[in-house]
Structure 1
């Protein structure tokens, strides 16, 4: 120990911090398995992966998160649902339902949720029930705006028609996702 006593003070201070940290750890609830497994974006702190849509009629997906990176893919459908899988500053790594994609500037993306019809023909129902009346039939690859979702059904709209569709027939919504 030095004559000015700094070593002893430092030791006592560190010991007190350790005790406080231990008490806080015991007082706070442990994270659930779902919370521990949920990955969050560095730039936004939003969950990853998550779904967004293409805001523009044409958007470049690049090999890396800068304008100097090569363009690997060009998305050409406004409102196309995309899945964000990573973030780096103002850039988001996205992919479509086939896994094609790359890094896009966040200004090209919208938080408006859309889905893609995955079946050859999809009956849209008046209620979230197979026995309810059919209000429209959407063809494969139709882009629809996403509304409310319960465990098995989502309310969607496109071309002036709206109704309920089985969640499993849509790409752009997670199987366990619930929306009000």
Structure 2
């Protein structure tokens, strides 16, 4: 369900995030159109789990508080449950750290999934309350939250501090987009 081999907490991982997300003008424009300021609070990879529907947040607020950016691998197939972000889905904790909601619950609300095939991979930006199902492939995933929401999240941990990592982390932030990293092991 989750690829654990991606080196998020490394120079390569931080560079990958900066180049492919933070410096992408399409991503920045969308984030800045929704939020005066947002911070990167999640950076992980999620993979194939065809029998499970996931979402990142349960909150049934009228205002979006978190935008999820997904970089999809080639050959990916995913189902998005359009309209699910408008309902209190009461997802339960899943083994991969996300929330899970049964298809029957979504269908009971009159929702139908839309399947998207990403033969060459792709980029998706979505409301964190939107339910999705990964049929094939994987997505390197980034979640950007409002300052108020981000204050309720744990910091992402970089296990070992070096001058280069500290410099890279400092370079990742901007006036409108920050990062929620800390050095040291969690616990």
What TM-score results when the alignment is normalised by the length of structure 2?
A: 0.20
Greater relative contact order, per chain length (Cα 8 Å cut-off, separation 6+): 2
Higher strand proportion: 1
Q: Which has the higher helix share?
A: 2
Greater C-alpha Rg: 1
